[in-house]
Amino acid sequence: MTKSSSEPPRRLGEFAMIAKFFAPLSADAEGAFGLADDVATLQVPDGQELVAKVDAIIEGVHFLRTDPAGLIAKKALRVNLSDLAAKGAVPVGYLLSLSIAPWCDDAWLASFAAGLGEDQARFRLSLLGGDTTATPGPLTLSVTALGSIPKGRTVRRAGAVPGDCVFVTGTIGDAGAGLAVLKGEGALLTAYERDDLIGRYRLPEPRLSLGQLLPALASASLDVSDGLVADLGHIAEVSHVRVVIEAARVPLSRPCAKLWGGDAILRAITAGDDYEVAFTAPASARARIAEAAEKSGVPVHEIGRVEEGEGIVLLDVKGQPISVARPGYTHF
**Binding stretches for Mg ion (CB under 5 A):** 38
Stretch that binds ligand ADP, among 33-41, 162-170, 223-231, 302-310 (CB under 6 A): 33-41
Phi, psi of 131 (to 5 degrees): -150, 145
Answer left, alpha or beta for residue 320, where phi above 0 means left and psi between -120 and 50 means alpha: beta
| Partner in contact with 227, chosen from ligand ADP, Mg ion, none, beta carbon below 5 to 8 Å by kind | none
8 A C-beta contact, residue 243 and residue 166: yes
> Would you give the DSSP letter of residue 31?
G
Helices (H) and strands (E) in the chain, counts: 10, 11
Please state whether beta strands 220-224 and 276-281 pair in parallel, antiparallel, or not at all (unpaired). antiparallel
Q: Of residues 29, 35, 86, 265, which one binds ligand ADP by CB under 6 A?
A: 35
Q: Does 37 bind ligand ADP (CB under 6 A)?
A: yes
Task: Give the separation between CA 189 and CA 181, rounded to whole angstroms.
Answer: 9
| Partner in contact with 177, chosen from Mg ion, ligand ADP, none, beta carbon below 5 to 8 Å by kind | none
Task: Give the separation between CA 276 and CA 172, rounded to whole angstroms.
Answer: 7
| Partner in contact with 37, chosen from Mg ion, ligand ADP, none, beta carbon below 5 to 8 Å by kind | ligand ADP
Q: Does 129 bind ligand ADP (CB under 6 A)?
A: yes
Residues in the chain: 332
Q: Which residues pair with 306 in a beta bridge?
A: 243
Q: Residue 265 in 3-state DSSP? A: helix
State how far Cα 70 lies from the chain centre: 16
| Partner in contact with 7, chosen from Mg ion, ligand ADP, none, beta carbon below 5 to 8 Å by kind | none
Least distance from ligand ADP to the Cβ atom of residue 74, Å: 15
Stretch that binds ligand ADP, among 51-59, 127-135, 193-201, 232-240 (CB under 6 A): 127-135
Stretch that binds ligand ADP, among 45-53, 125-133, 175-183, 302-310 (CB under 6 A): 125-133
Q: Does 131 bind ligand ADP (CB under 6 A)?
A: yes
Least distance from Mg ion to the Cβ atom of residue 23, Å: 15
8 A C-beta contact, residue 275 and residue 205: yes
Q: Of residues 57, 72, 98, 312, which one binds ligand ADP by CB under 6 A?
A: 98
Task: Give the separation between CA 226 and CA 327, rounded to whole angstroms.
Answer: 9
| Partner in contact with 131, chosen from Mg ion, ligand ADP, none, beta carbon below 5 to 8 Å by kind | ligand ADP
Q: Does 179 bind ligand ADP (CB under 6 A)?
A: no
Residue numbers at the binding site for ligand ADP (CB under 6 A): 18, 22, 35, 37-38, 96, 98, 127, 129-132
